[in-house]
Amino acid sequence: MSSYRVRLFEPVIEDDDVEAVVSVLKSGWLAHGPVVESFEKMFANYIGVEHAAAVSNGTVALMLSLKALGIGNGDKVLVPDYTFIATATSALMVGAIPVFVDVNYETFNIDIDDLQKKISETSAKAIIAVHLFGHPADIKAIKDIASDKGILLIEDAAQAHGAEAWGKKVGSFGDAAIFSFYATKNMTTGEGGMILSNNKQFIEKVKLLRNHGQVARYVHEELGGNYRITSIQAALGLTQLRKLDRLNEIRRRNAMILTNELTKLKGYVETPYEAQWAKHVYHVYALKLLPSVDRECVIKCMQSAGIETAIHYPLPLHKQPLFQKLEYKECCINSSVLSQRELSIPVHPKLSENDAKFVADVCKHCIQSCIKL
Ligand SMILES: Cc1ncc(COP(=O)(O)O)c(C=O)c1O
């Protein structure tokens, strides 16, 4: 058992989730089958895209998307410098080279000016635009740039199930989009991923690659692997999808409670930004603690009140040990600043209004008591 009174993330598993999983277990059909197909159909329908392929996790979803789009040896792939490592390692996995793009200070998402600069400096074949923390990237501008330059666009919506840009769900803008259903995500299958696209041939290729390149029973046309999802996971995915909008609304309510209290500390903390064209689904409630506040002190103070926090992310990608040999040391000012300032506090839908008020009050008190003299 955790010693925390309030965890940073908690999956919401209700009776219908348990019943759906038990029913698949009782059916005896555990691996890939009709329940997976139904999950694919329902998820594609929810996002507003024609075709979908469920896979074993979000990292594999990125890797297979790149592969099926023909990205490989030596190709450059533009990725934001501030994201979870998988966005960039998926490029390495297919032999491509990630090129890091700085992010916008307000939204934590890819910066349009730096994207244009990096495009002019490289001959990139693809952009992976991440909708970080549940706030959409400026996907209209990114899509225009990608179309103009003939560059493929993959949306990494691993953290943004149900988020919207200009009234459309993220995941419906790119040549391909991926989602993760890891246990902490806004909807979960424990582990799991999904690839979406309006391009049928591309999704067929993904389906081939996820199943050993098999075209007929024990006949294999190309090098694939086992990247399948189980029917047990898909059954959970279906019930989770049904409650996604309800749970996202609770996240938004909790975020509002946090923001209302914490905006009172102007000059010490900045609360998450929501662009006027965007619907934020608060996978992560990311504060920016300004230099006048000691972040380590706030973390310890909240921990002693029983509240779990985390830093997403302590290092921008260009400073990760893995990428040091790629010589990106001079890249990206905002991502470096954000990695010094970010602090994630609980916003998940298991928090009642009172819980959210408790988190807000403790956080406010901790920031006030951690101001540097
Ligand atoms: C932005 C982003 N991309 C990709 C992934 C990879 O997803 P998975 O953990 O399901 O492999 C994650 C997971 O946290 C993520 O946050």
The pLDDT of residue 327: 66
**Residue 246 one-letter amino acid:** R
pLDDT tens digit at each of 373 positions of the chain: 578 999 999 999 999 999 999 999 999 999 999 999 999 999 999 999 999 999 999 999 999 999 999 999 999 999 999 999 999 999 999 999 999 999 999 999 999 999 999 999 889 999 999 999 999 999 999 999 999 999 999 999 999 999 999 999 999 999 999 999 999 999 999 999 999 999 999 999 999 999 999 999 999 999 999 999 999 999 999 999 999 999 999 999 999 999 999 999 999 999 999 999 999 999 999 999 999 999 999 999 999 999 999 999 999 999 999 998 776 656 899 999 999 999 999 999 999 999 999 999 999 999 999 999 8
Ligand 1 centroid – CA 130 distance (Å): 10
Kindly state if the Cβ of 98 falls inside 6 Å of ligand 1.
no
The pLDDT of residue 326: 72
Kindly state if the Cβ of 58 falls inside 6 Å of ligand 1.
yes
The pLDDT of residue 33: 93
The pLDDT of residue 207: 98
Kindly state if the Cβ of 130 falls inside 6 Å of ligand 1.
yes
Instruction: Report the nearest atom of ligand 1 relative to the CA of 191.
Output: 10
The pLDDT of residue 1: 57
Residues of the chain with CATH 3.90.1150.10: 244-369
Q: Which of 32, 371, 363, 27 is nearest to 228 (CA)?
A: 32
Residues 6+ apart with CB under 8 A from 86: 58, 59, 62, 158
Residues of the chain with CATH 3.40.640.10: 15-240
Kindly state if the Cβ of 56 falls inside 6 Å of ligand 1.
no
Residue bearing the CA closest to ligand 1, atom 12 = 158
Q: Is the dihedral of CA 297, 300, 304, 306 positive or negative?
A: positive
C-alpha distances (whole Å) from 202 to each of 89, 130, 170 are 21, 20, 19
State the Cα–Cα distance between residues 67 and 240, nearest whole angstrom: 29
Kindly state if the Cβ of 229 falls inside 6 Å of ligand 1.
no
H helices of 174-263, where? Answer: 200-210, 231-262
The pLDDT of residue 2: 72
Kindly state if the Cβ of 108 falls inside 6 Å of ligand 1.
no
Instruction: Report the nearest atom of ligand 1 relative to the CA of 90.
Output: 4
The residue whose CB lies within 8 Å of the most ligand 1 atoms, and thus the one to mutate among 182, 187, 188, is 182
* CATH 3.40.640.10 describes domain 15-240: yes
Spatial contact of 284 and 133, defined as CB atoms under 8 Å apart? yes
State the Cα–Cα distance between residues 330 and 238, nearest whole angstrom: 45
- Residue range 244-369, CATH number: 3.90.1150.10
Q: Are strands 285-289 and 342-345 parallel, antiparallel or unpaired?
A: antiparallel
The pLDDT of residue 325: 76
The residue whose CB lies within 8 Å of the most ligand 1 atoms, and thus the one to mutate among 8, 55, 77, 180, is 180
